[in-house]
Amino acid sequence: MNRFWQLWRTSTVRLTATFILIFSLFAILLLAFITWQSSVQIQRQQANDIDREVRVFQRIEANQGIRALAFAVQRIASSPGPGVYYLGDATGQFLLGNVTDIPANVLIEPGIYSFDYERANPFIDPPDENASPGAGPPPKSGFAVVRSIVLDNGMRLVVGRDVVERRGYSAIIVQSFLFGVLGIMVFSIIAGGVTARRVLQRIDTIRDTSTKIMSGNLSERVPVTKRNDEFDGLATNLNAMLDRIEQLLQGLKEVTDNVAHDLKTPLTRLRNQAETALRDGASDETRQRALEATIAESDRLIQTFNALLMIARAEAGAPSGALTDVDVSAVVADVAELYGPVAEDEGILVETAIEPGVHLHANRELIGQAMVNLLENAVKYATPEGEGQGRIAIGLRRNGNRVLIEVADNGPGIPVEDRTRVLQRFVRLEKSRSETGSGLGLSLVNAVTGLHGGSFRIEDNAPGVRAVIDLPGA
């Protein structure tokens, strides 16, 4: 019983029961309508047959006379069937037919009537002439619907049909109707039970998978069948969500490990510098240098945390009102002008090809920060290996309905196998370990690009690197 109530509390079983109820009611109403229409059609057909025979008898009487009418009535009355026939004289006295006892009101006033009657049974052989009285076949009882008319010569004609047979047909139809309703109910319950069981099995599979995931097994996924139904669509979306969650958790773990690893060294340096400044006998100059180094190291730590916060804000999505119409051409030009003198001090030539008047629905601060990060990397790594002058090319152009922002250099470049990895947080290549930085610059650029619905990729500049921000046009 508890199992039944647990099943009944589920939405699937209740919806199935509702469907069965609606379907059964509709089927019952449909079968009741068919039964009623069948009975009406039989009744209407009998009425039409009565009217047709009355018209035939009237034509015979009018065209061929009373003898022909009497012969026709007697011939039809002697045939087996549900027909009821009575022909009487002007006073209503019986002359011929298969019914001898007709109510007086039927003979007096022409019209349509119904009454009980008795007549000889045509399916039983007549009694022998030498048989004793009362030994004949039992009369056949019935209930008739008749039409009574007065002929032109004053004679009374009654034509009708026995409705007991019609009632038998109606009883058969009603019986079939009841069996049909019972069958519909039984099969609906079976079909509903099978359907509910299949649905509950799929739901139980999803629930069991979620239970395993909550227990810590993030690699579990909801099974997907080959039916490609709505449950498979739900399972596919849930699996995609689980993949994303697993990636985020893995990324969080990597970020935590990287933060712990990358901040351990600068924090150790801060402690050593503070210890040096507090050491007995340390000169004022030594303490001054220690404090300056501590401030510089603290600034780098603050920059690292600011970059992390900006990446988190970009990955979380822009708040309402954060995206406005921005002149991207002006933003790129301003950042290029800002870093032009810095590049010249490093002996690097800066070239620009910025298409004017390019506007986007974007966040000006984040687009500017992404450009700053790209140019800082370009200035840091633009010097080619061996001899030659470093070059940085800054470009902004439309490409169909896309807007491309490009920063290219002719430095040593990034190996193909590392071009995706460097977009992760705190990832620094071996040749960059000696340079200052936190390994968050390209991660921020990638997050900002994703916030604006675009993509960020690193291409080969042969030699060097071309960083491309690909954004949807306004």
> Whole-angstrom Cα distance, residue 344 to residue 86?
129
pLDDT computed for residue 436 by the predictor: 53
Q: Which amino acid is at 64?
A: Q
> Whole-angstrom Cα distance, residue 67 to residue 86?
15
Instruction: Check residues 5 and 276 and name the one with the higher pLDDT.
Output: 276
Q: Please enumerate, as own/partner, the contacts of 33-41 that have beta carbons within 8 Å and a separation of 24 or more.
A: 34/173, 34/177, 35/170, 35/173, 35/174, 35/177, 38/169, 38/170, 38/173, 39/166, 39/169, 39/170, 39/173
Q: For domain 324-472, is the CATH number 3.30.565.10? A: yes
62-76, 244-258, 361-375: range with lowest mean pLDDT: 244-258
Q: Give the domain ranges of the chain.
A: 232-316, 324-472
Does residue 167 surpass a pLDDT of 80? no
pLDDT computed for residue 125 by the predictor: 47
Q: Does this chain's domain 232-316 share its CATH topology with 324-472?
A: no
Contact 427, 342 (CB under 8 A): no
For 31, the 3-state DSSP assignment is: helix
Percent of the chain's residues with pLDDT above 90: 8
pLDDT computed for residue 366 by the predictor: 84
Is pTM beyond 0.85 here? no
pLDDT digits (tens, 9 = 90+) for 354-386: 999 999 988 888 888 888 888 888 888 877 766
Q: What is 232-316's CATH number, 1.10.150, 1.10.3470, 3.40.50, 1.10.287?
A: 1.10.287
246: enclosing H helix or E strand? helix 230-278
pLDDT digits (tens, 9 = 90+) for 310-322: 666 666 665 545 6
- ∠ CA 317-321-324, rounded to 5°: 95
33: its two tokens: 């309508």
pLDDT computed for residue 305 by the predictor: 72
Cβ count within 10 A of residue 167 = 13
